[in-house]
Amino acid sequence: MTHQLTVYDPVIIKPNQEHIHSAWVNKIFKYEGTVKNIKYHYKNRGAKHFGKEKAIYIGFMDSSAYDNLLLQGSMIFCYIHNSLLNCYITRIVKNTSNIITSLQVAIYDDEDNIIKPFPPITYNIDMKYVDSMLITEKAYQIEKL
């Protein structure tokens, strides 16, 4: 159960069969990773009275996990100018082998219910600067090792 997870716990991520994303190239997977961060995001930023939900960020050992799972709009932690920041993906660049070569990201501020500045400032980063990605119980099964 994910409510017992803590930062640095090793985990295995599998797809939740009810919510397999059509953009995943590999729909049957099992990736090992480590819990890198646990945050609480608003369930609905436009209606903060709905409260917050647990957001678990996993860093994967196998880079193919990111190639398969990252989508435009995915939430990640990445390094921008040597600072680890919560971001979301605005654009993904892949090569002909479907491997991510770079990302365009914008900084995510969960406390604000509008994007500032608008339009957001974007940053181009290499995959080596991705620390972890948001993994939810809605789309994935998370098993603690």
Give the gyration radius of the chain's Cα atoms. Answer: 15
| Cα angle: 140, vertex 72, 5; to 5 degrees | 30
Residue 111: the pLDDT is 63
Judged against a pLDDT cut of 60, whether residue 2 lies above it is answered with no
Residue 104: the pLDDT is 97
Residue type, 98: N
Alpha carbons within 13 angstroms on the beta-carbon side of residue 98 total 12
* Cβ-contact 92, 100 below 8 angstroms: yes
Q: How far apart are CA 24 and CA 67, in angstroms?
A: 9
Label residue 17 by pLDDT band (50, 70, 90). Answer: confident
Give the dihedral of Cα atoms 35, 110, 131, 120; nearest 10 deg: 160
Q: How far apart are CA 30 and CA 71, in angstroms?
A: 18
Give the dihedral of Cα atoms 143, 141, 6, 76; nearest 10 deg: 130
Domain housing 95: 2-144
Q: Into how many domains does the chain fold?
A: 1
pLDDT tens-digit readout, 39-85: 888 777 778 888 888 889 999 989 999 999 999 999 999 999 999 99
Task: Work out the percent of the chain whose per-residue pLDDT is above 90.
Answer: 59
